[in-house]
Amino acid sequence: MQALADLGFIVVQIDGMGTANRSKAFQDVAWKNLGDSGFPDRIAWHRALAARDASYDISRVGIYGASAGGQSTLNALLFHRDFYKVGVAYAGCYDNRMDKISWNEQWLGWPVDKSYAAASGVDNAWRLTGKLLMIVGEQDSNVDPASTMQVVDALIKANKDFDLLSVPGGEHSVGRSTGPIDYVTRRQFGFFVRNLLGDTTPDWNAVPTRVG
């Protein structure tokens, strides 16, 4: 978050309704309603701050997340597309009909019903209007990479433009290392710089380098 702020972004993290460990009423906002993902609360927060501070530009809002956060990132662009313009989604479980039942059924219950389809990034890929970068590790052992490819297939069939980065040998933690900024993180930062700030990024191919 600090690195993004150093690039000129205002970065916020907001815990909206739907998250656990508060109360049943607080958590039940997301019950069979994963497309919500607490976004109405977050959007209200952004708008309230923008009303107080003219420098807080909410015409260019981006979002990123991994795993369930990747699912929420895509959902932000699909279901709240009037507000969220740019997203970078890592290793998301984009359709809960194919992910781990131990996670899905906490929020969507059993049997599989229309709530699964309503929150599906596959079924709703046609809604995309913003800029999307999807990142997935080829060897993800937590969320099947096929979940990403299902969205890719749906986006292609819907004639949508998007960006995809598949990392050979990458695991579920791809791009989220605690060490120096790596290639995957650079791709995320560059995507935001170009599509939110409207700035150019370095031409990393200008000077050929050889590794090894």
**196: number of Cβ within 10 Å:** 18
| pLDDT(96) > 60 | yes
The pLDDT value given to residue 103 = 82
Cα(170)–Cα(189) distance, rounded to whole angstroms?
19
- 61-197: what fold? Rossmann fold (3.40.50)
List the chain domain ranges. 61-197
pTM over 0.75: yes
The pLDDT value given to residue 101 = 79
| pLDDT(179) > 60 | no
Q: What is the mean pLDDT of residues 164-182?
A: 81
| pLDDT digit string, tens, across residues 41-66 | 999 999 999 999 999 999 999 999 99
| pLDDT(178) > 60 | no
